[in-house]
Every structure is written in C-alpha cells, then in structure tokens.
Amino acid sequence: MPKQIKNKKKILWVEDEQALINLYKDAIGTMKNVEFEFMQLGQQAIDRMKEIQEGKAEKPDLIMLDLLLPDINGDKVCEAVRNTPATRDIPVFVLTNYTGEQMEDKMTEDLNAEEYLVKTAWGPLKLIPLLEKTLGLS
Amino acid sequence: MAKLTDELTSSIDLSKIVDSIVNSIKQAMQLDRAGILLIDQNDGTINPVRNSPPAGVVSNGVKYKTAKVVGFNENNGISLVQDNFLTQYLQKTQKPLVRDELQMIAKDLSSAEEKQSFNQLAENMKRIEASLCLPMIISNRLIGIIVLGSKVSGDAYTNEDLTLLNTLSKQAAIAVDNARLYREVQDFSKTLQQKVDEQTKEIKHAYEVEKKAHNDLKQLDEAKTNFMLVTQHHLRTPLSVNKGFLSLLMGGRYGKIPPKIKNVILELDASTEKEIKTVNELLDISSYQLGHGYIQVKPGIPIKSLLEEITNDLRPLADNNKIYLKFENKGAVPDITADEKQLKMALQNIVDNAVKYTRQGGVTVKLESENDKIKIEVKDTGIGMDEEDKKHLFEKPFQRSKEAWTANAIGKGIGLYLSAQIIKAHGGRIWAESNGLEKGSAFYIELPISITNTKINK
C-alpha cells in the first residue's frame, strides 16, 4: 500500500478562498493517482520548500499558486520555490483572478511560472484535463 | 632692496605688500619711521587694509586711509598729511617731496596763497615728523603716498637715496594696484559664486518640489492601480466559485439533474458568465482610464484572420439569438502594424455589440484595404440610433444609448468607449451611421496599415 501511495502524483495547491478549495476538491475527486494538499497561507508554502530542501517533506510534482493570499503574496512563494535548489524545477501554475501585465510578466518571465491561468476563464472542468496532461496521467 | 622688489612683483596680497614696503624701506634706509597712505578707491565700502584708523580728510571727494605706519606718533595726526594741497602737488610733479626743500620752493613762488600753502604743508610735515613724501603713481594717477621720517643717523637723504626711493615707490604703486585689481577680481568671483550658489540652490529646490510632486502622483497612481487589481480579484473570486460549481452541477458531478433544474442551472450559468464579462470590461476600462492602457504595436498582424476569429467566436451567440453573422473579405488585405491583443478586444467589442443589439436579421462584417489604410464595416439590422445617440456613442462610459437600457444588453457604453480609445491609439478612426431607431446601425473603422510609435498615445 505505501508503495502505491508513493507512486501517486502530488499537487501542492496554494489557495486561500475556502469556497474555491471546496470546488476544486469536488472537481478533482474523480482524478486518479493524484494526491492533493491545500495550503491557505503563503508562509506555509514557503516553509514547505525549506522542509523539502532539508529532506523533511516530499517534493510535489506541481504547485498550483494563487497570488493574493492573506499573509504573503504568491510571487514571494514562487521566489522561494525558485530559490530553493531542491524545489527549483517544480512546475508552478499560477491560478488567480489577479490580472495585470506587470504581474503576469513577473510571474511568467522573471519567475518562470509555467502557466498563468485566470480563474474565471479556467473553471474546474477545463482545468482537470490540463493537470492530467501536465502530470502525464492522460 | 632686491628682496623687496622680488616681493613686490610676486606678491598680490595688499596688506602683505604694504607691510613689505613699509618695513623694508624703514630697515634698508635705517629710518625712524615710515608709513603708507592709500586712496580708498572703493569709497570706504571695502576696507582693503587692516588696522586702519578712521578715514582721513575728505578732499575732492577722495578719501585716504592710513595703510600702515611704523614709528609715527599717531597722536600727532599722521592723517594731517592727507592734505589736498599735498596730493595735488604730488600728482602734478610725480616726484619725491623733501620737507627741507619746501621752503626753498615756496620762496620762488609768486602767489601769496601758494606760499601760504607750502608753509602750512611744511609745518604739518614737521609736526608729524615726516621728512619725505613719495607719490605712488599709476597711469598718471596718484593712488597713495609713502611718508617717511628721518634717518636714524640724522643724515639727510642723498640724491642716490631719492633716486632709489623714487624707483621703489613706482614699483610699490604697481604692486599695490595689482593687489587691488586682484582683490576686485576675487570679490567679483566671490559675488558671482554666491549668485551661482543661490541660483543653484533655487533650482535644486524647484527640482525637489517637482520631484516630490511627481513621486506623489506616481504613488497615487500606483495606489489606484493596486486598488483596481485587488478589486478585480475580489469581484472575480465569487464569480469563479459560482461558475465552477455550476459547471460541476451541469457536468453531473453531484448526480443526475432533472431537466427543470438543469434549465435553472443554465440560467444561473449564463448570468454568471455575463457578470464575468461585465467585470472584465469594467476592469479593462478602469485600467485604461488609470493611464495603463497603452498599446504595444508589432508589424505583421493578420487583420483578416483576426476578424475571422472574432466572428467565429461570436457565432454561437448569433445562432442562439437566431440572427446571421457574416464575414466578407474584399480582395487581398495586407497585415497591419497593431497591438494584436488590444485591437482584437476593440473589434470584438464592436461586433459583440452589434450581435447583442440585433434581434432579427443579422450582422455583416466587411474588410477591405484602400491605399495605406484598411477599412472595416460592421453593419447590423438592429435597434439603430437617433442623432443624439450617435453624438455620444464613443464618449465616456455610461452615457450609452437610451434605447440600450431596454435592450437587455450589457456593457455597451464601456465597450464602445474603450474600442474607440484603442482605435485612436492606433492612429485610426471610428464612426457610426444609422438611419434612425429600429433601422439598424453601421460602424466604420479605419486603421493605418503601418504606424510609427510617435502616433501612439501613451
């Protein structure tokens, strides 16, 4: 059993809005071989990167990242991901309702986020196939 | 003496020069006393000499100052040598005046008044114990007098002494004059530097004020932008929740939906979608008004495919409204220089608008090129416009057509204003025609095929 769990793909999902967490949980329930972990604070995610670096936590295969968070904004989280050797290569999908050319450029060009997705345009049913494709599940 | 000559020609400090002259003559000639009186050329405004006693006698408006005296009893009033008659005499003769010779000169004079003056001068010199007065002449102008006492030995001045002293007084005059000129230049430079400093300070201050104002504006601008960005996040988040759950409901994620409820969900979904569009438009226009609506043009934008894409995107909406949406392309149309994203948004708004306001018939989009321009026509058979509406069509948001309020269409005011702004930013033109209410409308857009950056409103 533990081996099987280890073979599952792992997504770290940083999202503060509880209603959206509920929505995504409902939507991804159908996905197989994927494990999800939701975090509602930017600091939690930054701490996690440190733990991964120290070998205390498992490295996710993908990070879903909201930008406007209650404590530390998503761009800082992405900086931590990119500045930590052990997490540097994890794909980061920004999933936010925050748009603005400056921020989009910063995230995709400076911080090499793989995708910049706007929530109103990327509903759960559109999102699931993208996640499956990215994780090599489809 | 050679040392003095050296000093006189090299030194330009006035008080040092005066000191040198007085001390050197006194020492070299072994005199009991020596002094220099200088004409105060600055009329007392700048005091060139240290240790000056109060200004001397005023004669012909010329003030003398005792530059330096050594050995004279000032209580006897050395300033009495500042005699109008003496200065005039020295100016005239430009030669050393020996006190012992005064009476001899006076003897030869015919005028009783002159005799009297000479006798008076001799007496004055005697009282202050001055034996010799040397004129200091520059360009035939008396600038000062070297007043000397007697030799300590009691000997009289020899002719050699007088020749030497005469030469020396000429050099002293040049040195003093140079020193004064130098000081004047220095003062002038100092004043000039002061003025430059003052003005620099003023300019710096003005710059600081300007910079602060600029920073304040920038901060305000940034605050507004941040406010808008955060607001859009908050406006969109509940909409994404609604839209997301509705899509799961419709997709059967929570079980089979009875047809009646499915219709309700479709209504909810459609209205959520409308709201998302409105919010997007509102944010677009806000960011445009905040001054961040700038365009970044690139050449090679395929305007034909752009319009095809727009009409294809909107065809489902037209089908739903049971109207036609056609795209016609007249001849070959070249690619244009444009900001693809923004131009697409502008054109999409206009076509979208036409589709929404048309309840029967349909919309035709035509594209053609003419010389250095491309022309787009969006013609509908919709609600039309009266003259009043036409006037305000592209004006600021929320001044939209009165009729539009009844047409249950969203965002017309916002969309058209924004479209017009973007087209103008591309150096293009937009206008509308209508034969009146219920008689359809036509929107015309002209865009230059290539534009330079100078035409873009930033």
SS3 state of residue B57 = coil
What's the rounded Cα separation, in Å, for the pair B242 and A97?
14
The per-residue pLDDT for range B305-347, each reduced to its tens digit, is 999 999 998 998 899 889 999 999 988 899 999 988 889 888 9
CB–CB of B330/B267 below 8 Å? no
The per-residue pLDDT for range A15-74, each reduced to its tens digit, is 999 999 999 999 988 888 899 999 999 999 999 999 999 999 999 999 999 998 888 889
Nearest-10 Cα torsion for A93, A99, A102, A108: 10
Who among B235, B241, B292 is closest to A23 (CB)?
B241
Chain B CB contacts of A67 below 8 Å:
233
What tokens does A67 get?
């930008």
Q: Which residue in B has a C-alpha nearest to residue A121's C-alpha?
A: B240
Q: What is the pLDDT of residue B44?
A: 39
Residue ranges of chain B whose pLDDT lies below 70:
1-12, 41-64, 74-84, 285-294, 396-414, 452-458
What's the rounded Cα separation, in Å, for the pair A24 and A19?
9
How many Å is the maximal CA-CA distance in chain A?
46
CB atoms within 10 A of CB A67: 25
Chain B CB contacts of A103 below 8 Å:
229
CB–CB of A107/A78 below 8 Å? yes
SS3 state of residue B62 = strand
What's the rounded Cα separation, in Å, for the pair B179 and B170?
14
Cα B172 to chain center, whole Å? 50
Sign of the alpha-carbon dihedral angle for A74, A77, A79, A82: negative
What's the rounded Cα separation, in Å, for the pair B455 and B294?
12
Q: What is the pLDDT of residue B92?
A: 84
What tokens does A80 get?
């931590």
CB–CB of B354/B393 below 8 Å? no
On whether any CB of chain A is under 8 Å from the CB of B225, the answer is yes
Who among A68, A97, A125 is closest to B240 (CB)?
A97
Who among A68, A96, A125 is closest to B247 (CB)?
A125
What's the rounded Cα separation, in Å, for the pair B34 and B411?
103
On whether any CB of chain B is under 8 Å from the CB of A125, the answer is yes
Mutate to test the interface with A, among B221, B240, B250, B294 (most CBs of A within 10 A): B240
Task: Compute the nearest-CA separation of B330 from chain A (Å).
Answer: 34
Who among B233, B251, B254 is closest to A68 (CB)?
B233
Contact B240 A68 (CB under 8 A): no
C-alpha distances in Å from residue B253, one per residue of A119, A125, B142, B244, B370:
19, 10, 116, 11, 54
Average pLDDT, chain A: 90
Residue B282 CB contacts under 8 Å (≥ 6 apart), including other chains: B235, B411, B414
Q: B157 forms bridges with which residues in the sheet?
A: none
Contact B253 A19 (CB under 8 A): no
CB–CB of B299/B337 below 8 Å? yes
Q: Which residue reads 């000129």 in tokens?
A: B181
Pairing assessment for the beta strands B298-301 and B336-338 based on DSSP bridges: antiparallel
What tokens does B76 get?
């006897």
Q: Which residue in A has a C-alpha nearest to residue B250's C-alpha?
A: A125
CB–CB of B99/B125 below 8 Å? yes
Cα A117 to chain center, whole Å? 11
Who among B241, B253, B279 is closest to A20 (CB)?
B241
On whether any CB of chain B is under 8 Å from the CB of A26, the answer is yes
pTM of the model: 0.48
What's the rounded Cα separation, in Å, for the pair B417 and B393?
7
Closest among B329, B336, B403 to B368, alpha carbons compared: B329
Angle between the N-to-C axes of helices B159-250 and B14-28, in degrees from 0 to 180, rounded to the nearest 10? 160
Q: What is the pLDDT of residue B393?
A: 78
CA atoms within 13 A on the CB side of B421: 24
Q: Is the ipTM of this complex over 0.85?
A: no
Cα B303 to chain center, whole Å? 45
Contact A103 B243 (CB under 8 A): no
Residue B75 zone, left/alpha/beta (φ > 0; ψ -120 to 50; rest): alpha
SS3 state of residue B330 = coil
Buried b (16+ CB within 10 A) or exposed e, B301-316: bebbebbeebbeebee
Residue B62 CB contacts under 8 Å (≥ 6 apart), including other chains: B39, B40, B87
- Percent helix / strand / coil, chain B, rounded to 5: 55, 15, 25
What's the rounded Cα separation, in Å, for the pair B394 and B399?
9
Amino acid residing at A25: K
What's the rounded Cα separation, in Å, for the pair B39 and B67?
9
Who among B229, B240, B245 is closest to A120 (CB)?
B240
Size of interface A-B (CB pairs under 8 A): 66
Closest among A59, A24, A7 to A131, alpha carbons compared: A24
What's the rounded Cα separation, in Å, for the pair B72 and B70?
6
What's the rounded Cα separation, in Å, for the pair B159 and B14?
29
Please name the residues between 230 and 269 in chain B that touch chain A, using a CB distance below 8 Å: 230, 232-233, 235-241, 243-245, 247-248, 251, 253-254
Sign of the alpha-carbon dihedral angle for B114, B115, B120, B126: positive
Mutate to test the interface with A, among B237, B247, B281 (most CBs of A within 10 A): B237
Pairing assessment for the beta strands B441-448 and B373-380 based on DSSP bridges: antiparallel
SS3 state of residue B73 = coil
Question: What DSSP designation does B453 have?
Answer: G
What's the rounded Cα separation, in Å, for the pair A113 and A16?
19
CB–CB of B183/B48 below 8 Å? yes
Chain A CB contacts of B238 below 8 Å:
19
Pairing assessment for the beta strands A62-65 and A34-39 based on DSSP bridges: unpaired
Task: Compute the nearest-CA separation of A10 from chain B (Å).
Answer: 22
Q: Which residue reads 């009146």 in tokens?
A: B436
Cα B57 to chain center, whole Å? 53
What's the rounded Cα separation, in Å, for the pair B205 and B192?
20
Who among A19, A97, A125 is closest to B236 (CB)?
A97
SS3 state of residue B72 = coil
